[in-house]
Amino acid sequence: MSSGTIESGRPGLRVIEPKLMPPRVHPGMLRRTRLLAALDGEGGTPLTVLNAAVGYGKTTLVRSWCIERPEPVIWITLDPADDDPARLWTHLATGVERLGQGLGSGAMAAIGTRGAPVEAAVDELMNGLVRHGRPATIVLDDLHTVGSDASLRSLRHAIERVPGNVRVLASTRTDPPIGLARLRARRALAEIRARELAFTVEEAGQMLEHEGIALSGESVELLVERTEGWPAGLYLAALWLRDLDDPDGEVRAFAGSAREVGDYLTEEVLTALAPETRDFLLRTSVLGRFTPELCDAVLGRSDSAAVLGQLAASNMFLVALDARGEWYRYHHLFGEVLQLELSGEAAPELRLRAAAWCSAHGLVEDAIEYAAAAGDAEMVAELLLEHHLRFIWGGRLEQFLGWTRWLPSELLVSHPLLPASAAAAAAALARPDVELERMLVLAERARRRRPELWSPYVEAAVEVTRAEAIQRGDVAAAVEHARRAVAAARAGADVLGVGVLASLSQALFFAGDLDQSRQVAVDAVERPDAPDVPDGYVGALGLLALIDAEQGRSESAEAWARQAIAFAHQRFQADSWVASLAHLGLALACASTDRLDEAEREALRGERLRHSPQPTIGHAHALLVLAQVRVARSRLSRGARDLQRAQRAIAGFPDPGRLPEIAAAVEQSLAATQATAGNRGPIEEPSPAELAVLRGLAAGLSRREIGAELYISLNTVKSHSRELYRKLGAASKAEAVARAEALGLLERSKSPG
Amino acid sequence: MPPRMYRLVVNGELGPRYASAFTGMTVSAASGKTEITGAIIDQSHLQGLLERISDLGLTLYSVTPLDNGNGESGSHGAPPPRS
């Protein structure tokens, strides 16, 4: 892999086309006039949720509505693998992209960018929809299949930002945890539930008549009563009744039965099928979605296209996903029941054949799914090894980690690349430490078990992951691991070069070796492929800014920082912790050139980006920079608080590197400022109006702004300030604020920040 | 949480094919209801069973933990209203 071509030569995973295909509506399906009108009537509501059990006709209703509407539809059928938000948003972005004008490309670029949070992709996608400007509908079918916090969070983030020209329709079996209560309260949510979706007697009568079934009114009523209007039950009843001589008699018998509706009706429908058709249905039921070729491969026949064509025409439980007869799936309920009927021994063999076909046709994810469902862990491992870069480059870290976690430990230790990549993924996703540790331990065992497979790439990936993990509290060990990662990358994993150099530079920075840290950061940013690794690049630029600021080169520090922040913004790292270093560097540069307001703003931003649930070296350092800037700005009590928080964290680290030294320096300047500000005896108490002006000065407002805020003239502000300076014995704004802070006058302030 | 006996009741008398849907559990149908009884290892196991019931379009009537398999604990098993 040559470094220059990384960007263009990074194939991710292929889009799963049938996920984006809106299912066809069978001509035998009843047009639900009243429900279509209800959907039309909710035109102003950004989100409509159809919530009911399987078989209530949610998908059919949404699909029929979309067909009758002029606006374009982005349809996505969700499934459990969409627990990886990168997969979910790749498919949604693909759908938006197909509206034209490159509307989804920003989102897709964000997903493929290392270290970019998924929310960045969501925001990009919403921007694309705003640019589209015209009405569009997004359908999230089977939303209940998504269960991960990450995906649900990203969906909630999106729902709150859907532009006015876009309507979202979601079908689900359970209320999705995406903030529905809040939307309901804001009247931003329309709901259609089982009660509305159930067939009325009249609708059931129309449907049966359309199917050519002559039933008495009384029988239709019995049928609706027995099925409780459940549409799947009524369609099954139609399939069952249409070839019977005495349908009324059969309905009476059915109404008297205590059998479960779905069970009774499928039993009747399946028994009535020709044995060959029945066999075809049962054996293909292990396939989630299928093409005629896939059926041929799995069943060892060559006429699946004809069989499927016939079935689709006569049976509404086979759903065509496109007009060309390429992709099909069974209705969820029907598919489930068919699988029950299929003997347990047959299924794994059929699934393995499906896995082989999918693998040969480049459908990597489906191949892995089938292999896993067949219980063939070896095959899953082989597929992951072969395609792992597709997962990584496509941003599908959750998915990759999910599969590796599923593999037995014994298998993972024979393939070092798998636990190594999984550890790197776990670190990038900020998974709990135990999970990261488990993968690192497995990688270590794999190193001993299969030394011949322990490549420089694996070594560099494992060492840099260890360095980053350890850096939370043990600086010396982090330096050690980062050095090994750099050595391994030099020996034969050049593709990891930027990342490992940035990691080493940071470890050296915290260890206190600023000159060496700077040299390594320069090496990282001067690599031609540096911009292709946005997180490493932004991190290294930020370190250069910090070091130059500390060493008194504030002009170049500011240039590095601004370059880093602009690039981070452009490459979706603006809200990532890697951008924190640049903001801290900029804060120090501003502080040394007396732009204290800007310095505090930047330090605060840097501190917030570094915030994490557990104490880390990085966050403690950010707190120290913030404290230092606040002390310089004479915000002494806040600075003291930041310093205390940092010191508490530092006390818990096994090796905090140079942080105690920085903390001591901040403490000293705090004490010095407190002394000059506080040692001048009692003062004349400022008036409430003067105190209000004082609060404005402390908040960094100009006199004009203070006047505007307090509804007083500029001249009045000036005279209040003069009085304040006199009472506080101060010669400048900074001094006045410092003294007021030292005297506790600002503690009475209500202003936040 | 240690394994615990549970009884899940769904509406309707299920035919024999449903025994394979709930492997490891005893499935018995009588008087318009079907009882699915057996040891549940943990919450994910129980959630999985509930999802299975939903996948098959069955109507859940009640979920009851049983005390050591010989009596109903009474306080957990109030049947929800049918939707």
**Percent of chain A scored above 90 by pLDDT?**
68
Containing structural domain, residue A340: 275-362
Summarize the confidence of residues A717-722 as an average pLDDT.
88
- Chain B CB contacts of A340 below 8 Å: 17-18, 20-21, 56
SS3 assignment, position A558: helix
Residue A13 domain-assigned (yes or no): no
Quickly state the pLDDT bin for A747 (edges 50, 70, 90): low
Residue B75 domain-assigned (yes or no): no
Residue A720 contacts by C-beta under 8 Å, 6 or more apart in sequence?
A689, A690, A693
Instruction: List the single best residue of B20, B28, B50, B52 to mutate versus A (max A Cβ within 10 A).
Output: B20
Which domain-ending residue is among A197, A223, A240?
A197
Residue B80 domain-assigned (yes or no): no
**Percent of chain A scored above 70 by pLDDT?**
97
CATH number at residue A493: 1.25.40.10
Summarize the confidence of residues A140-156 as an average pLDDT.
95
pLDDT in tens, A700-710: 888 888 888 88
The C-alpha atoms of residue A114 and residue A414 are separated, in whole angstroms, by 28
Q: Give how far Cα B51 sits from Cα of A42, A144, A151, A219, Å.
A: 31, 10, 20, 33
pLDDT at A646: 96
Q: Which of B20, B21, B57 sits opposite A54 (nearest CB)?
A: B57
Q: Say yes or no to pLDDT of B73 above 60.
A: no
pLDDT in tens, A60-86: 999 999 999 999 999 999 999 999 999
The C-alpha atoms of residue A406 and residue A380 are separated, in whole angstroms, by 10
CATH number at residue A739: 1.10.10.10
Q: In angstroms, what separates the C-alpha of B69 from chain A's closest C-alpha?
A: 26
CATH number at residue B13: 3.30.70.1560
Q: Which of A195, A258, A332 sits opposite B32 (nearest CB)?
A: A258
> Are A133 and A188 found together in one domain?
yes
Compute the count of residue pairs across chains A and B with CB atoms less than 8 Å apart.
Answer: 60
Q: In angstroms, what separates the C-alpha of A233 from chain B's closest C-alpha?
A: 10
pLDDT at A5: 28
Which domain-ending residue is among A656, A678, A700?
A678
CATH number at residue A292: 1.10.10
CB contact under 8 A, B31 and A258: yes
Residue A1 domain-assigned (yes or no): no
Sole residue written with tokens 């400048």: A732
> Are A639 and A697 found together in one domain?
no
> Are A502 and A541 found together in one domain?
yes
Q: Say yes or no to pLDDT of A457 above 90.
A: yes
* A222 CB within 8 Å of a chain B CB: no
Residue B72 domain-assigned (yes or no): no
Q: In angstroms, what separates the C-alpha of A572 from chain B's closest C-alpha?
A: 36
* A665 CB within 8 Å of a chain B CB: no
pLDDT at A324: 85
Q: Say yes or no to pLDDT of A409 above 50.
A: yes
pLDDT at B1: 61
pLDDT at B17: 82
pLDDT at A612: 82
- The total of structural domains in chain B comes to 1
> Are A258 and A288 found together in one domain?
no
Instruction: List the single best residue of B8, B9, B10, B13 to mutate versus A (max A Cβ within 10 A).
Output: B13
pLDDT at A113: 82
Tell me the helix, strand and coil percentages in chain A, rounded to 5.
65, 5, 30
Is residue A457 within 8 A of residue A496, CB to CB? The reply is yes
CB contact under 8 A, A194 and B83: yes
pLDDT in tens, A305-349: 999 998 888 888 899 998 888 999 999 999 998 998 887 788 999
* A261 CB within 8 Å of a chain B CB: yes
> Are A106 and A161 found together in one domain?
yes
pLDDT at A70: 93
CB contact under 8 A, A259 and B12: yes
- Chain A CB contacts of B55 below 8 Å: 54, 332-333, 336
Interstrand relation of A189-193 and A47-51 (parallel, antiparallel or unpaired):
parallel
Residue B81 domain-assigned (yes or no): no
Q: Say yes or no to pLDDT of A360 above 60.
A: yes
Direct distance between the N- and C-terminal alpha carbons of chain B, in angstroms, rounded to an integer = 31
> Are A178 and A233 found together in one domain?
no
Averaged confidence pLDDT in chain A: 90
Is residue A660 within 8 A of residue A688, CB to CB? The reply is no
Q: Say yes or no to pLDDT of A676 above 80.
A: no
Q: Which of A53, A267, A341 sits opposite B57 (nearest CB)?
A: A53
* B26 CB within 8 Å of a chain A CB: no
Which domain-ending residue is among A257, A272, A287?
A272
Q: Say yes or no to pLDDT of A15 above 80.
A: yes
Residue B44 domain-assigned (yes or no): yes
- The total of structural domains in chain A comes to 6
For the record, the structure tokens of A607 come out as 């501190």
> Are A258 and A340 found together in one domain?
no
Q: Say yes or no to pLDDT of A510 above 50.
A: yes
Q: Say yes or no to pLDDT of A753 above 50.
A: no
Summarize the confidence of residues A173-180 as an average pLDDT.
90
* A271 CB within 8 Å of a chain B CB: no
CB contact under 8 A, B56 and A262: yes
Quickly state the pLDDT bin for B82 (edges 50, 70, 90): very low
DSSP for A54-104 reads TTS-HHHHHHHHHHHSSS-EEEEE--GGGGSHHHHHHHHHHHHHTTSTTTT
* A278 CB within 8 Å of a chain B CB: no
Torsional class of A327: left (φ above 0), alpha (ψ -120 to 50), beta (otherwise)? beta
pLDDT at A367: 97
> Are A493 and A622 found together in one domain?
yes
> Are A669 and A700 found together in one domain?
no
- What burial class does residue A408 get, using C-beta atoms within 10 Å of its C-beta: 0-12 exposed, 13-18 middle, 19+ buried? exposed
CB contact under 8 A, A260 and B58: yes
Containing structural domain, residue B59: 4-67
CATH number at residue A138: 3.40.50.300
- Chain B CB contacts of A258 below 8 Å: 12-13, 31-32
Residue A370 domain-assigned (yes or no): no
Residue A21 domain-assigned (yes or no): no
Instruction: List the single best residue of A263, A337, A345 to mutate versus B (max B Cβ within 10 A).
Output: A263
> Are A141 and A161 found together in one domain?
yes
Quickly state the pLDDT bin for A498 (edges 50, 70, 90): very high
Give the chain B residue nearest A260 (alpha carbons).
Answer: B12
The C-alpha atoms of residue A128 and residue B44 are separated, in whole angstroms, by 39
Quickly state the pLDDT bin for A637 (edges 50, 70, 90): confident
Residue A12 domain-assigned (yes or no): no
pLDDT at A151: 96
pLDDT at A709: 85
Among residues 53-82 of chain B, which lie with CB inside 8 Å of chain A? Answer: 54-59
Residue B48 domain-assigned (yes or no): yes
pTM: 0.81
Q: Say yes or no to pLDDT of A679 above 70.
A: no
CB contact under 8 A, B18 and A340: yes
Residue A72 contacts by C-beta under 8 Å, 6 or more apart in sequence?
A99, A136, A137
* B14 CB within 8 Å of a chain A CB: yes
CB contact under 8 A, A260 and B13: yes
Q: Which of B17, B34, B58 sits opposite A341 (nearest CB)?
A: B17
CB contact under 8 A, A260 and B31: no
CB contact under 8 A, B20 and A232: no
Residue B83 domain-assigned (yes or no): no
Q: Which of B15, B31, B32 sits opposite A263 (nearest CB)?
A: B15
> Are A216 and A192 found together in one domain?
no
> Are A481 and A614 found together in one domain?
yes
Sole residue written with tokens 């609060």: A695
